[in-house]
């Protein structure tokens, strides 16, 4: 049993089991990309496939109010530093590092969803031989984009060109990830194909 500092009982969100006839898209599932990736990573961990976790964002707590002994209320807190990417871990002896992004934009994926420090971090990971990519949920589909490909679109933006990726560019340069139940977003299949020739 887990309780919050105020004494309230922690309740885990119940997973939604899709019906076989239901079309698995983000428009009707009520789940976020992050929720699905967390469920996928838990599946990978439990099955001994990979160890990949969401990185915690470091926070500096400045002011805490204690109205009573069993309840603490954070009044003021700041992010200690800019975050890098969302997830990291290890798979088949290789370091894995990736960012997850969603958009509701109907015509393109805005590159403003990424930050300079994230791009720099991904470049550093690749230089050290890690596997680095982004998972993008857009247009009711989920895409796996290798970091090196993202960099070409980022450079185009930096050089004064288009500041987004079109649907066509995502489809031509990305790998579509089919959605399922267990695992929900099986991105390891794409890693196997791209990096382990399977």
Please report, in range form, the residues annotated as the binding site for Mg(2+): 84, 86, 99, 118
List phi, psi (to 5°) of 148: -60, -30
**Binding residue numbers:** 84, 86, 99, 118
CA distances from 76 to 8, 60, 117 (A): 21, 9, 25
121/168 Cα distance (integer angstroms): 27
The four Cα atoms 26, 28, 32, 35 give a dihedral, to 10 degrees, of -110
- The two structure tokens encoding residue 31: 């789940």
For the chain, what is the radius of gyration of the CA atoms?
19
2/31 Cα distance (integer angstroms): 23
End-to-end CA distance of the chain: 42
């Amino acid at each position: 049993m887990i309780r919050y500092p105020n004494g309230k009982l922690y309740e885990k969100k119940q997973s939604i089991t899709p019906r076989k006839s239901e079309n698995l898209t983000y428009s009707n599932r009520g789940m976020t990309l992050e929720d699905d990736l967390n469920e996928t990573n838990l599946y990978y961990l439990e099955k001994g496939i990979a160890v990949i976790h969401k990185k915690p964002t470091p926070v500096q707590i400045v002011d805490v109010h204690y109205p009573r002994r069993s309840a603490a209320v954070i009044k003021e807190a700041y992010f200690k530093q800019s975050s890098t990417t969302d997830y990291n871990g290890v798979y088949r002896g290789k370091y894995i590092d990736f960012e997850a992004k969603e958009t509701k934009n109907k015509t393109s994926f805005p590159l403003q969803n990424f930050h300079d420090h994230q791009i720099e971090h991904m470049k550093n990971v690749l230089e050290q031989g890690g596997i680095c990519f982004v998972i993008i949920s857009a247009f009711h589909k989920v895409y796996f984009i290798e970091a090196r490909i993202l960099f070409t679109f980022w450079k185009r933006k930096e050089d004064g060109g288009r500041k987004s990726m079109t649907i066509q560019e995502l489809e031509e340069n990305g790998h579509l990830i089919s959605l399922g139940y267990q695992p929900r977003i099986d991105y390891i299949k794409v890693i196997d194909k791209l990096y382990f020739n399977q």
